[in-house]
Structure 1
Amino acid sequence: MFKHKYIITVESDIPPQICLGDKIHGATVVALETEQYPDLVDLAWLTKRFPMSRDTLSRQLELFNIGSTGKKLYDPNIVVPFLKNKIEHNLGGKGKTNK
C-alpha cells in the first residue's frame, strides 16, 4: 500500500508549534517548510503563484502599485492576502444554481 502525501499550508505571524515526528490525527509530520516573501514583488512573481494573467493582475492591483508605470512593484504583505481573498470569493459562485 502506498502512502499519500498531504500538504497543509499555515500562515501566521509566529511559527506554529509543530515538530517533525508529531502525530496529527493519525498522520506523522515528515517535513516543514517556510516561505519568506521579498520586500517587493513584480507581476512575474505573482503570476507564478496565482492563476491569473499579467494583464488581469495589473488591472486588479493598479491601486497597490508602488513602482513606476514601467516597472510595477507591489508589497506582498498587502497584495497576496488581497488576491487570495479575491480567488476564494470567485470560486463556486458563477453559473451554479441550487435546485
Structure 2
Amino acid sequence: MAEYVITLEADRPPEILLGQTLFGGKVTALNLRKKKLVSASELAQKYGLSATTVREKLNAINQGTSGKHLYDPDLADELLKTKKRTRGRYREL
C-alpha cells in the first residue's frame, strides 16, 4: 500500500475527516503546515504594490532584520487587504 500526499491551500480548513474515503483512498492523517515567512518582494508582486510601500505598511510586523524584511503571511494579508477609505461622499457611476 502506498501513501500519497496532497497539498491544499485555502483560506479556511477543508471539510475532510479521518477515515473518510476520498478519491478512492482512505484518509489516515491530517496535518496543517504553516507557511514560512514571506518577503516584501513576494507581497509586492501579489498585491501589485512596490516593495517600499509594502515595507512601510508592514513595518510594525516585520520579523526579519532591517535589511531582510520578512512577514507572517496571514497578518500581512490582513493588513494589505484592508482598503483605505477615501474622503468625501460615495458617488455612483
TM-score, length of structure 2 as denominator length: 0.57
Q: Which runs of 5+ in 2 are unaligned?
A: 1-9, 17-32
Higher normalized strand content (fraction of residues): 2
Instruction: Tell me which of 82, 91, 97 is aligned to 2:91.
Output: 97
| Aligned partners of 2:58 and 2:79 also within 8 Å | no
When the two chains are superposed, the root-mean-square deviation of aligned CA atoms in Å is 3.1
Count of residues in Structure 1 that have an aligned counterpart in Structure 2: 69
Stretch deviating more after TM superposition (36-45 or 53-62): 36-45
| Aligned partners of 2:62 and 2:71 also within 8 Å | yes
Alignment match, 1:11 = 11
TM-score, length of structure 1 as denominator length: 0.54
Identical residues among aligned pairs (%): 27
Q: CA deviation at 1:90?
A: 3.7
Residues 1-99 of structure 1 aligned to structure 2 (within 5 Å): 11-12=11-12, 14-15=13-14, 38-84=35-81, 86=82, 89-90=83-84, 93=86, 97=91
Q: Which runs of 5+ in 1 are unaligned?
A: 1-9, 18-35
